[in-house]
Structure 1
Amino acid sequence: MSHDFVGATSGPNQVWLTDISEHPTREGKLYLCAVKDCYSNKIVGYSIDSRMKSGLAAAALRNAIALRSPEGTIVHSDRGSQFRSKKVVRLLKNNGLRGSMGRVGSSSDNAAMESFFSLLQKNVLDTRRWDSREELRLAIVSWIETKYNRRRRQRALGKLTPIEFEMIYAAADAA
């Protein structure tokens, strides 16, 4: 059974998706773990490191938790060892979050995360060869913070950006 979470939420922090991507530089690989809220498609937490260890996933989730203060959120990932680690499982449990994992080989489960990574690939990674990890790290952070979350209008959000979508619907809920 596929978990089709996208569009199935009625508010923020109900379902988050998370995954890790790998990016080459002349200096070596750089890994990005991102956490995406299914409600607004906003990247709510991320971590970047030169090693793909459980600490990468834990740091991304810690950042999302610190920014969002979620309760009972489902955190959906693939079955990668980083997401099954004691560190990540404990972090979810200690913060009242529920882990959810896709079936092995089920690409539809994380299609929404793959679309984010595809946009990152097209808009940042494929634009040139990256000399250093630090140079690429800064480019990724800049793109997420200024372009993806704040400027990229999304058809699924009624042509709003993720930040506009959350602000408008938060105001409507408060009224």
Structure 2
Amino acid sequence: MPSLMEALEARRAEVLGQARQLREQISFDNAVSEAFNSVLKAEYVHRHRFASRSEARLKIATWTTDFYNTRGIQSMCDFVSPVDFEQQYWAQ
């Protein structure tokens, strides 16, 4: 299963029309995914009940895009939200 970083790189290459570059696996990729999953479970999943898997998928995706990526402050992103971090990155 591809890591989040690999999926993001593949999508970026697709959007930019570039050939995807293969790279070695970096153990940090999995650490980031594990940290996100821990926050997701602690701050959202364990606090809600879902009627079905499809409802859970929809509500988790909504929480991720509406809260976590826009307002959630992340230490690995210099204590800004992922959206703000990405905007700062591309502005450089």
Tell me the TM-score normalized by structure 2: 0.71
Residue 169 of structure 1 aligns to a residue whose secondary structure is: helix
Letter matched to residue 171 of structure 1: A
Higher helix share: 2
Matched, 1:69 2:13: yes
The alpha-carbon deviation at position 110 of structure 1 amounts to: 1.8
CA distance in 2, matches of 1:109, 1:156: 12
Residue 70 of structure 2 aligns to a residue whose secondary structure is: coil
The alpha-carbon deviation at position 109 of structure 1 amounts to: 6.3
CA distance in 1, matches of 2:56, 2:23: 30
For the structure 1 residues 145 and 109, does the alpha-carbon distance in structure 2 shift closer, same or farther, using more than 3 Å as the test? Answer: closer
For residue 137 of structure 1, the aligned residue among 41, 52, 57 is 57
Higher strand share: 1
Letter matched to residue 156 of structure 1: M
| Alignment: residue pair count | 87
Residue 56 of structure 2 aligns to a residue whose secondary structure is: helix
For the structure 1 residues 129 and 64, does the alpha-carbon distance in structure 2 shift closer, same or farther, using more than 3 Å as the test? Answer: farther
Are the aligned partners of 1:124 and 1:139 in contact in 2 as well (CA < 8 Å)? Answer: no
For the structure 1 residues 121 and 96, does the alpha-carbon distance in structure 2 shift closer, same or farther, using more than 3 Å as the test? Answer: same
Correspondences of 1:119-134 after superposition (within 5 Å) = 119-134=39-54
Corresponding residue number in structure 1 for 2:74 = 154
For residue 38 of structure 2, the aligned residue among 118, 126, 132 is 118
Looking at both structures, which has the greater relative contact order when contacts are Cα pairs under 8 Å and sequence separation is at least 6? 1
Structure 2 stretches of 5 or more lacking a match? none
Residue 60 of structure 2 aligns to a residue whose secondary structure is: helix
Structure 1 stretches of 5 or more lacking a match? 1-16, 19-34, 38-60, 71-94
Letter matched to residue 69 of structure 1: A
For residue 168 of structure 1, the aligned residue among 69, 88, 91 is 88
The alpha-carbon deviation at position 159 of structure 1 amounts to: 1.7
For the structure 1 residues 126 and 64, does the alpha-carbon distance in structure 2 shift closer, same or farther, using more than 3 Å as the test? Answer: farther
CA distance in 1, matches of 2:44, 2:10: 26
Sequence identity percentage: 30
Tell me the TM-score normalized by structure 1: 0.41
Corresponding residue number in structure 2 for 1:52 = none
